[in-house]
């Protein structure tokens, strides 16, 4: 099916029609899901379920440990073509949340290309999503969660007052604004968050789930290794670290402990750009970039085939950790120099 519509504003009429006139939906988000993607898909799924519709959430990879509190009753499954092919073929509409780039859907994205149903993207990231029939690309939004909040409010002004919807949407907004600290924390997001708290959300309870419970003993081993490998460039404005997970595994670390390391590096005083360069066994090198809000780094991620926001981005690089680090640091230094030349 081809509707071919890219929406750069909050006109939800086309999507509302699809949601109300169809009954069977498949939802998904990007690989290594975060709270914005997961919270957004759960919020809309729970509303549609309350209308008697059927929603299956099939994500490309498992949830991180700190997100396991969000779904209940097996609401989310990891996509498996051998198990879910018939389910997709029998669905009416597919919606992707917060994916940034179509390739981040992995296998489910490949399989969907041969299925003739409307495909919708709801996102606040730039990136190639030309495979979708309808694209709600709204980069001025603080999060995908605020877009779902707005969509639901336009359909039913009581929807966001239900706690089972309020919790995932608040988690989505909190996650993508850095617990309402980043500059994308606009008045719209704060007012929406206030309404969700009025609906019964407990902010500190969700903060503990999303942030404090990350610090497991294994995670502290990872942080210790990160600090021992930390390198500084450009007078301390750039800091980066390289970690091979196989070096940490014997110390009790699990893959989930490797997340959000670039955020930690960025928090160091004087550092303007932080980069974590990590590798899991048998996988490509994973590179995560974080900037304190002056120097854009998504262009560096894009150079290596990745993407993201101006100040929070990532990519995967072929080859060894050492070679990847050399290439990534060199390109980042070029980006810092170019930015300095333009200010």
Q: What is the CA radius of gyration of the chain?
A: 20
DSSP 252: T
- Judging by DSSP bridges, how do beta strands 312-317 and 285-291 pair with one another? antiparallel
Q: Is the pLDDT of residue 275 over 80?
A: yes
SS3 84: helix
pTM check: above 0.85: no
Residues sharing a CB contact under 8 Å with residue 27, sequence separation 6 or more, in sequence order: 41, 44, 45, 55, 56, 57, 58, 94, 95, 96, 97
Write down all domains in the chain, each with its CATH number in brackets: 5-210 (3.90.1640.10), 216-342 (3.10.310.30)
128: pLDDT confidence band, cut at 50, 70 and 90? confident
Using one digit for the tens of pLDDT, what is the confidence trace for 80-123? 999 999 999 999 999 999 998 899 999 999 999 999 999 999 99
Q: Is the pLDDT of residue 1 over 80?
A: no
SS3 26: strand
């Amino acid at each position: 099916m081809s509707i071919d519509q890219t929406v750069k504003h909050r006109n939800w009429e086309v999507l509302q029609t699809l949601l109300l006139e169809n009954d069977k939906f498949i939802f998904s988000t990007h690989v290594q899901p975060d709270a914005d993607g997961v919270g957004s898909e759960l919020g809309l799924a729970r509303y549609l379920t309350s209308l008697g519709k059927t929603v299956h959430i099939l994500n490309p990879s498992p949830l991180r440990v700190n997100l396991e509190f969000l779904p209940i009753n097996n609401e989310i499954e990891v996509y498996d073509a051998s198990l879910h092919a018939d389910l997709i073929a029998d669905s009416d509409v597919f919606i992707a949340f917060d994916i940034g780039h179509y390739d981040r859907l992995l296998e489910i994205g490949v399989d969907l290309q041969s299925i003739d149903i409307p495909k919708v993207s709801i996102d606040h990231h730039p990136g190639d999503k030309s495979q979708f029939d309808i694209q709600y690309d709204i980069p001025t939004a603080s999060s995908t969660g605020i877009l779902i909040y707005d969509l639901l409010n336009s359909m039913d002004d009581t929807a966001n007052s239900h706690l089972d919807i309020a919790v995932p949407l608040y988690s989505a907004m909190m996650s993508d604004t850095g617990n309402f600290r980043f500059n994308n924390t606009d008045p719209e997001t704060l007012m929406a968050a206030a309404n969700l708290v009025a609906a019964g959300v407990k902010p500190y309870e969700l903060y503990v789930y999303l942030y404090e419970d990350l610090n497991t003993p294994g995670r502290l081993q990872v942080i210790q290794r990160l600090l021992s490998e930390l390198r500084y460039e450009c007078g301390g404005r750039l800091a980066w670290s390289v970690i091979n997970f196989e070096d940490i595994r014997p110390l009790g670390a699990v893959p989930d402990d490797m997340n959000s390391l670039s955020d930690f590096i960025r928090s160091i005083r004087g550092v303007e750009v932080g980069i974590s360069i990590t590798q899991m066994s048998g996988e490509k090198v994973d590179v995560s970039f974080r900037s304190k809000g002056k120097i854009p780094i998504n262009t560096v991620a894009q150079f290596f085939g990745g993407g993201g926001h101006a100040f929070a981005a990532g990519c995967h690089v072929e080859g060894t950790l050492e070679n990847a680090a050399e290439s990534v640091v060199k390109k980042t230094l070029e980006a810092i120099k170019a930015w300095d030349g333009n200010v």
